[in-house]
């Protein structure tokens, strides 16, 4: 009875939240009866949050520099781009600083590209929701038989047949987590170098790897070779700082200059500017690399444990989450609410994701301790 009431309250909330899950703070403030123990919707490395917070405390709170950080205007976009440039070694004039990657996606879709945009589905919905009259989304359906992994040969055919001028690849993809190697992506970019734009969204790339020592992968280094390349990078997931709003887009100088000519003057906060300065700190970067690998190793154990649970199918992933097909006959919304109300585990129902056939939820990798709790809840629930 009580669960049913909660269910109705949640449903109403979700209707009002629009196209994305209601945030945890909205959820808690709207339905105080809910006890969320673990937010497994939230795709971030909690060890990195902890690391960032240590520096933040030491650098800004203890020194009270936080005062001036909140009081004064941050630097302008082009100045913060220089901070990022010093970290990633790419010319600052090719860096568009964003208030979260989502601002970069919006800026590119509204101002940089025109015509057609091919979007492999399922996908991060903003890529089609943000399309205005200047841009028509062309949905490329990945195949359930191939676990929704993007088949580049078939995607190429789709691009050619539909005379697409702008293409999107999220690598690793969201909500699937499937990964294309740098080699595959590199060949794809080379083949399509005459298109207007190739958008590679690497928001989750810090969780992907090709070598045994789990080194980071990226197509960052191709930005100077291909004028049509647009690389989107979020900081929210890998650094666990979504509340800060930080991201960037790499693209050719003309495109960056054109965006800055008519806007985006002071578009990130003083704290985000602090973060991009912190990224230049070698100690921080080394410690980050440690917690990145620690998180990955914990995720491997987690996914292995999830893989053993019956009545669910784990889709192969190189991101910090897994897409799970539910095979116990229940629908994904019901499973989501059951897990929330019975175990305090908040997972992402994928019922609103276009391009998925079947019942799916997306579950984040969290800390080792939380992962164990999620696995234990799943075991009990699905047995």
Rounded to an integer, what distance in angstroms lies between the CA atom of residue 6 and that of residue 367? Answer: 27
Rule CB under 8 A: choose which of 10, 14, 39, 104 binds its own copies: 39
Stretch of residues binding its own copies (CB under 8 A), selected from 71-79, 157-165, 224-232, 357-365: 71-79
Q: Any alpha helices (H) in the chain, and if so which ranges?
A: 2-17, 24-30, 46-56, 65-71, 77-88, 101-107, 126-129, 152-161, 182-191, 253-261, 270-278, 282-307, 332-343, 368-382
Using CB under 8 A as the binding rule, whether residue 242 contacts its own copies is answered as yes
Rule CB under 8 A: choose which of 106, 114, 151, 154 binds its own copies: 106
Compute CA distances 257 → 109, 267, 268, 367, whole Å. Answer: 16, 15, 17, 41
Rule CB under 8 A: choose which of 85, 126, 151, 281 binds its own copies: 126
Rule CB under 8 A: choose which of 155, 179, 264, 378 binds its own copies: 264
Using CB under 8 A as the binding rule, whether residue 240 contacts its own copies is answered as yes
Cα-flanking dihedrals φ and ψ of residue 332, to 5°? Answer: -65, -35
Rule CB under 8 A: choose which of 8, 15, 25, 145 binds its own copies: 25
C-alpha of 46 from chain center: 14
Stretch of residues binding its own copies (CB under 8 A), selected from 4-12, 37-45, 162-170, 215-223: 37-45
Q: Nearer to its own copies by C-beta: 222 or 279? A: 279
What are the structure tokens assigned to 175, written together? Answer: 């909500």
Give the closest residue to 42 by CA, choosing from 315, 237, 275.
Answer: 237
Stretch of residues binding its own copies (CB under 8 A), selected from 152-160, 199-207, 256-264, 306-314: 256-264
How many residues touch its own copies under the rule CB under 8 A: the total is 61
Give kind and range of the element (H or E) at residue 151: none
Rounded to an integer, what distance in angstroms lies between the CA atom of residue 162 and that of residue 306? Answer: 40
Rounded to an integer, what distance in angstroms lies between the CA atom of residue 267 and that of residue 210? Answer: 35
Minimum CB–partner distance for residue 59 and its own copies (Å): 13
Q: Nearer to its own copies by C-beta: 263 or 358? A: 263
Q: Nearer to its own copies by C-beta: 79 or 354? A: 79
CB-based contacts of 327: which residues, under 8 Å, 6+ apart? 311, 312, 313
Rule CB under 8 A: choose which of 113, 270, 318, 355 binds its own copies: 270
Q: Nearer to its own copies by C-beta: 83 or 325? A: 83
Q: Nearer to its own copies by C-beta: 122 or 240? A: 240
Stretch of residues binding its own copies (CB under 8 A), selected from 198-206, 241-249, 322-330, 356-364: 241-249
What are the structure tokens assigned to 46, written together? Answer: 């909690």
Using CB under 8 A as the binding rule, whether residue 367 contacts its own copies is answered as no
Rounded to an integer, what distance in angstroms lies between the CA atom of residue 53 and that of residue 4? Answer: 39
Minimum CB–partner distance for residue 228 and its own copies (Å): 22
Using CB under 8 A as the binding rule, whether residue 212 contacts its own copies is answered as no
Rounded to an integer, what distance in angstroms lies between the CA atom of residue 162 and that of residue 208? Answer: 31
Stretch of residues binding its own copies (CB under 8 A), selected from 21-29, 177-185, 218-226, 291-299: 21-29
Rounded to an integer, what distance in angstroms lies between the CA atom of residue 244 and that of residue 279? Answer: 14
Using CB under 8 A as the binding rule, whether residue 238 contacts its own copies is answered as no
Compute CA distances 342 → 90, 302, 330, whole Å. Answer: 49, 21, 16
Residues of this chain that interact with its own copies (CB under 8 A) are: 16-18, 20, 23-26, 39, 42, 44, 46, 49, 52-53, 56, 61, 66-76, 78-79, 99-100, 102-103, 106, 110, 126, 129-132, 236, 240-245, 261-273
């Amino acid at each position: 009875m009580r669960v049913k009431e909660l269910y109705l309250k949640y449903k109403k909330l979700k209707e009002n939240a629009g196209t994305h899950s209601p945030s945890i703070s909205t959820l808690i403030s709207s339905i105080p009866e809910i006890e969320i123990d673990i937010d497994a919707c939230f795709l971030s490395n909690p060890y990195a949050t902890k690391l960032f917070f240590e520096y933040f405390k030491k650098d800004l709170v203890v020194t009270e520099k936080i005062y001036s950080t909140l009081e004064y205007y941050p630097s302008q976009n082009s100045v913060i781009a220089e901070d990022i440039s010093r970290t990633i070694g790419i010319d600052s004039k090719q860096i568009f600083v964003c208030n979260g990657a989502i601002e970069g996606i919006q800026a590119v879709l509204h101002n940089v590209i025109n015509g057609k945009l091919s979007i492999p589905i399922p996908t991060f919905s903003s890529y089609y929701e943000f399309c205005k009259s200047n841009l028509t989304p062309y949905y490329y359906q990945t195949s359930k038989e191939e676990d929704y992994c993007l088949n580049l040969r078939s995607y190429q055919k789709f691009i050619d047949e539909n005379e697409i001028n702008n293409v999107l690849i999220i690598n690793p993809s969201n909500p699937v987590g499937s990964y294309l190697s740098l080699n595959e992506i590199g060949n794809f970019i080379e083949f399509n170098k005459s298109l207007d734009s190739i958008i590679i969204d690497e928001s989750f790339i810090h969780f992907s790897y090709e070598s045994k020592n789990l080194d980071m992968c990226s197509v960052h280094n191709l930005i100077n070779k291909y004028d049509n390349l647009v690389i989107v990078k979020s900081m929210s997931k890998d650094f666990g700082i979504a509340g800060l709003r930080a991201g960037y887009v790499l693209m050719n100088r003309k495109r960056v200059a054109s965006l800055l000519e008519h806007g985006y003057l002071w578009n990130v906060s003083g704290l985000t500017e602090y973060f991009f300065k912190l990224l230049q700190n070698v100690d921080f970067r080394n410690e980050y690399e440690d917690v990145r690998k620690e998180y990955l190793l914990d995720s491997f154990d987690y996914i292995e444990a999830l893989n053993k649970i019956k009545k669910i199918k784990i889709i192969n992933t190189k991101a910090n989450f897994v897409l799970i097909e539910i095979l116990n006959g229940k629908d994904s919304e019901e499973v989501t609410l059951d897990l929330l109300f019975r175990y305090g585990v908040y997972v992402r129902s994928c019922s609103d994701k276009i391009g998925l056939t079947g019942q799916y939820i997306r579950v984040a990798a969290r800390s080792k301790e939380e992962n164990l709790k999620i696995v234990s809840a799943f075991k009990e629930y699905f047995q």
